[in-house]
Amino acid sequence: MRKNYIDIVKDGSNLSIKMREEITLYTIKRYTNTIDYIDFNGIEFVTIDFLGVKFIDSAASVYFSNLEKKLHLKNIKIEIKAKNQDVLDVLNLVKTQRAKYTKSSLPVSKNIIEKIGEETYKNYLGFLSFISVIGEIFLHKFSYLLNIKNIRFKEVAFEINESAVKALGIVILTSFLIGLVVAYQSAHQLRTYGANIFIVDMMGISVLRELSPIITAIVIAGRSASSYTAQIGAMKITQEIDAMQTMGFDPYRFLVLPRIIALMITLPILIFVSDIMAMIAGMLIANVSLGITVTMFLDRFQDVIALKHFIIGLAKGPFFAFLIASIGIYRGLMVKDDTQSIGFNTTKSVVESIFAVIICDAVFSIIFTSLGV
């Protein structure tokens, strides 16, 4: 087949496609109308001859790249002939870009070992970043507390109101309900064995030493850690933190330390309130289910519950508070420049804060038990 712009010569199992003139987006149609109707059955070798082509653009090059791919799938060998360097450059450019795109778009299959290693390394880098932030907090905290003039009492008082006073209602309700449930379940078992009075021992030690601190910390982790992350994350997105640094204000001194100090002050107070509400719930159930009067309950409580249980519960408060506030602030500082990142880091801050509190409580339990306290 011969036309003024293309020659197609078939010689047995060999086929030659010779083109002339310019092949562009506007002229490619006449070439495709001819080439697409070629019967390649029985063809083993194809020569695509660009020797007579003066110019080819990327659109035409894409077509011939697709044609080459199609012939390869049919196990047909291909030879490209071209002397014009501009034509060769365009053809090679399309091939290179297509290979790069195909390589990057293909999903990389990783085995379980690679996934575990990648996730472990990512968590390791995150842990190092968190330790770096903790170090910054300690450095600023020492310099912050060395001089009373450095302490921003107004900001600390504001954060106390936000993280403690406004959280008082949910802490009271949660502690009362937890105390109610624990006392009710215990009362049923103790009544079976005639050990009614021991509800005081069980409630006193478990509530003062473990339940109140951990329940209060979890409630505050869900409330305050998420709040800190969202607030600082929003400030980072709106570049308020960058503006503060530009004006010479230290974000740690103005944003971080007041929140940490406020929560370390207020969490022991909230634990104390939680102790009271849980014990009130215990006294209520003991009176209703076991016939133990308030006077009997308090007398037994005074005789068998040592002061150390109450002190241990309160002593956990500042440690829990530091972890909750630090993680919430750290996650706020990790927010990227998009709103989706705020939601992601807020969720992470709550989960990590609760996890850190539980781990810290377990460490305290092991230490105190080993010391016989």
Three-class HEC string of 80-136: EECCCHHHHHHHHHHHHHHHHHHHHHCCCCCCHHHHHHHHHHHHHHHHHHHHHHHHH
Per-residue pLDDT tens over the stretch 232-274: 888 888 888 888 878 877 777 778 888 888 999 999 999 999 9
pLDDT at 100: 61
**Angle at the Cα of 229 from the Cα atoms of 227 and 235, rounded to 5 degrees:** 105
Across the chain, what does the average pLDDT equal? 84
Instruction: Answer yes or no: pTM beyond 0.85.
Output: no
Q: Measure Cα distances from 132 to 138, 258, 344 in Å.
A: 10, 19, 21
Residue 218 reports pLDDT greater than 90: yes
Residue 107 reports pLDDT greater than 60: no
Instruction: Name the CATH superfamily housing domain 6-105.
Output: STAS domain (3.30.750.24)
pLDDT at 245: 77
Q: Where in the chain is the domain with CATH 3.30.750.24?
A: 6-105
First to last CA, the chain: 100
Per-residue pLDDT tens over the stretch 6-53: 888 888 788 888 887 788 877 888 878 888 878 788 888 888 888 888
